[in-house]
Amino acid sequence: MTDDRLNALEDRLARLEDERAITRLIGCYGPLVDAADADAVAALWAEDGTYDVEGWGMRSRADVHAMVLSPQHQGLVTAGCTHFLGPVVVTVEGDTAVAVCESVLVVHHKERFHVARAGANRFELVRNDGVWEILHRTTRALDGDAAARDLLAVVR
């Protein structure tokens, strides 16, 4: 009886902990990418993780690392920017998970800030050796394209 209750508590708590770990992982993306910390951003992805964003197909952790150090990204960061993520809806299933959120890229240009892009984001995550990592991330601009809207389906 006590064992049953302990087992149930452990399972329920583990579920909250998994969601917390994934929410935190994705929550780190904005601050780290805007700090241009290439090592830390890359470490959010699995070794063979992918990031597919508007005409840029990264196929590994090393590719993500290179993106952060790229002239395009360095240009954004030195001018001033925030990759601002919205609330993440996480669905865990054993050692894999899906997370969905919207995002806004705000950039600083000529003494002003403006919204450069709004995006839809879908993450597939995997637990490797007890640590959650991003296996696939797909981001599309919310510019009316139906493919962006398709990313926003969440599991209820």
> Which parts of this chain interact with its own copies (CB under 8 A)?
2-3, 5-6, 9-10, 12-13, 16-17, 19-20, 23-24, 26-28, 30-32, 34-37, 40, 43, 77-82, 84-90, 100-102, 104, 106, 108, 113-120, 141-145, 148-150, 152-154, 156
- Closer CB to its own copies, residue 10 or residue 95? 10
Smallest separation (angstroms) from its own copies to the CB of 119: 8
In whole angstroms, give the CA distance from residue 148 to residue 138. Answer: 9
In whole angstroms, give the CA distance from residue 141 to residue 83. Answer: 13
- Closer CB to its own copies, residue 59 or residue 149? 149
- Closer CB to its own copies, residue 102 or residue 124? 102
Q: Is 155 exposed, middle or buried (CB count within 10 Å of its CB: 0-12, 13-18, 19+)?
A: exposed
Are the C-beta atoms of 133 and 126 separated by less than 8 Å? yes
